[in-house]
Amino acid sequence: RVGEIKGRLYLVTEYVRGENLADLELPIPWTRALEVGIGLARGLAAAHRQGVLHRDLKLSNAVIDEGGQVKLLDFGLAKLVDVGDRAESSSPSHARERTEDPVALAGKNALTMAASRISDTLRAEQTDATAPTPKLKERREATPRLVTTSGDTGDGEDLRTRRERFGAWNRSGASITRVGTVMGTPHYMAPELWLADPASRRSDVYALGVVLYILVAGRPPHDAETPFELAMEVQENDPPPLIDVAPACDPRLAAIIDRCLHRDPYERFAAGDELRTALEMLQMPARARGGKV
């Protein structure tokens, strides 16, 4: 529920008791990962249908409640985009940011209204994240400067001299942002986000793919010692096929997860609904899928 008291906006969300995905003993059986993936995809699809991007989907932002349902949490970095093409076509203009005053969005449901206000707050504090920047490949020798949402400003230190300080970065799950450059949590960030391209439904799909890869394989898709090295790795190399890392996984699920992690965003599932459909098909009897029994 969203409201306003004496000029101050407030947001009331559901309190969820349960187990955080980041606390699970990994890897988990692929059948359980499929159930979790369907739950996450349904939540993501609901957000995407309202024009909301999550932008920070990761293990620690999902909970299995006491009833066994998967809950997608923490829309603190959420962003509102146009919903004219709900299926998100292959056109690069599929996720252009809204420019209307949030007051004009009063007829939207609570989730959309909340994301709009959160987005406006972020924009008031940050520069335009869509401003063009040189590709990382063209500035390998440049010094990335990071600000972490976990409280470490980084002070613009050279990442190459900070290996020890970042020794646990890939285990902490802390989000990182560089104003006008990157936003998210390193291992879950799609390649295009490292280039300061705008977040999209497809970058959310990538993040969900990383979650599923970790659940099944017990490790992230890419290995790197610093965010800088990870940025290079995700742009230059595909992750190892999941079936090679976790041979016990159903090849169909492995193929779906691999597609989520494609370096080309237009080779991924277009949005949460498309991914949800693909995952749910794996739970259907062969006859219902049109296959042999």
Pairwise CA distance, residues 78 & 61, whole Å: 12
Q: In what order do the strands lie in the sheet with 70-72?
A: 18-20, 62-65, 70-72
Task: Specify the pLDDT at position 255.
Answer: 98
Task: Specify the pLDDT at position 23.
Answer: 93
Task: Specify the pLDDT at position 289.
Answer: 58
Q: How far is CA 42 from CA 22, 37, 39, 119, 205, in A?
A: 19, 8, 5, 22, 12
Instruction: Report the CATH number of the 24-289 domain.
Output: 1.10.510.10
Task: Look at residues 234, 228, 233 and name the one whose alpha carbon lies nearest to residue 142.
Answer: 228
Cis peptide before 241 (omega within 30 of 0): no
**Strand duo 70-72 + 79-80: pairing:** unpaired
Q: Residue ranges of the chain with pLDDT lower than 70?
A: 75-80, 82-183, 286-293
Task: Specify the pLDDT at position 15.
Answer: 81
Domain boundaries, the chain: 24-289
Rg of the chain over Cα atoms, rounded to whole angstroms, equals: 19
Pairwise CA distance, residues 250 & 258, whole Å: 12
pLDDT digits (tens, 9 = 90+) for 89-122: 444 444 444 433 333 333 334 334 433 443 444 3
Q: Judge if pTM exceeds 0.75.
A: no
